[in-house]
Amino acid sequence: MKFALLLSALLPSTFMAQQTDWFADAKLGIFIHWGMYAVDGTSESWAFHNETVPYATYMRQMNGFSAAKYNPNQWAKLIKESGARYCVITTKHHDGLALYNTQIKTPQAPHQKNWNPKYPLSTKYQTPAKQDLISPLFTSLRQEQLKVGAYYSLLDWSSFDYPTFLKDSSRYQINDEPKRWNNFLTFMHGQIAEINTQLRPDLFWFDGDWEHSEIEWQAAQIDSIIHQSNPNAILNGRLHSFGNYDTPEQNMPITHPSRPIWELCLTTNDNWGYRPLDNNYKTPFELLCIFSECLGMGGNLLLDIGPKADGTFPDEQVKILQEFGRWTSKHQSAIYGTSAGIPYGHYHGNSTLSKDSLVLNLFVPSPQGSDLHASNKMLPIYMKGLKNKPSMIELIGSSTPLAVSEVGKISWSEVPGTLFIQIPISEMDPMISVIQLTFNEPIELYRGKGGFH
- For domain 20-335, say whether CATH 3.30.70.20 is its number: no
Confidence of residue 451 (pLDDT cuts 50, 70, 90): low
3-state SS track over the chain: CEHHHHHHHHCCHHHHCHHHHHHHHHCEEEEECCCCHHHHCCCCCHHHHCCCCCHHHHHHHHHHCCCCCCCHHHHHHHHHHCCCCEEEEEEECCCCCECCCCCCCCCCCCCCCCCCCCCCCEHHHHCCCCCCCHHHHHHHHHHCCCEEEEEEECCCCCCCCCCECCCCCECCCCCCCHHHHHHHHHHHHHHHHHHHHHHCCCEEEEECHHHCCHHHHCHHHHHHHHHHHCCCCEEEHHHHHHCCEECCECCCCCCCCCCCCEEEEEECCCCCCCCCCCCCCCCHHHHHHHHHHHHHCCCEEEEEECCCCCCCCCHHHHHHHHHHHHHHHHCHHHHCCCEECCCECCECCCEEECCCCCEEEEEEECCCCHHHHCCCCEEEEEEECECCCCCEEEECCCCCCCEEEEECCCCCCCCCCEEEEEEEHHHCCCCEEEEEEECCCCCEECCCCCCCC
Q: What is the pLDDT of residue 215?
A: 96
Lowest-confidence segment of 329-333, 340-344, 389-393, 414-418 by average pLDDT: 414-418
* pLDDT over threshold 80, residue 13: no
Per-residue pLDDT tens over the stretch 274-290: 999 999 999 999 999 99
**pLDDT by residue (tens digit) across 143-198?**
999 999 999 999 999 999 999 999 998 999 999 999 999 999 999 999 999 999 99
pTM of this structure: 0.93
pLDDT for 10 beyond 80: no
What are the pLDDT digits (tens) for 53-102?
999 999 999 999 999 999 999 999 999 999 999 999 999 999 999 999 99
Sketch the domain layout of the chain as residue ranges.
20-335, 341-438
